[in-house]
Amino acid sequence: MPKVKLPRKSTAIDMTPMVDVAFLLLTFFMLTTKFKPNDPVTVVTPSSISTKLLPESNIAMILIGKDGRVFFDLDNKFKKQQLMSDLNSQYHLGLTKDQINSYAIGGPVGVPFKMLPQLLSVPADQRNAFPQPGIPIDSANNELDQWIKYTLNVNNANPDLQFVIKADDNTKYEVVKQVLKTLKANHLNKLHLVTNLKPIPPGTAAWREQQAAGGANASKQQP
Quickly list DSSP for 44-64: -PPEE---PPPPSSSEEEEEE
- Of 15 and 53, the structure prediction assigns the larger pLDDT to 53
CA dist., res. 174 & res. 133, Å (int): 17
Tens-digit pLDDT profile for residues 84-111: 999 999 999 999 999 999 999 999 999 9
Kindly state whether residue 98 falls inside one of the protein's structural domains: yes
Kindly state whether residue 12 falls inside one of the protein's structural domains: no
CA dist., res. 188 & res. 80, Å (int): 20
- Angle, helices 97-105 vs 77-91, to 10°: value is 140
Model pTM? 0.74
**What confidence score (pLDDT) does residue 214 get?**
62
**How are beta strands 70-74 and 59-64 bridged, if at all?**
antiparallel
- SS3 category, 35: coil
Q: Which amino acid is at 124?
A: A
Domain count of the chain?
A: 1
**What confidence score (pLDDT) does residue 44 get?**
77
Residue range of the domain that includes 120: 47-197
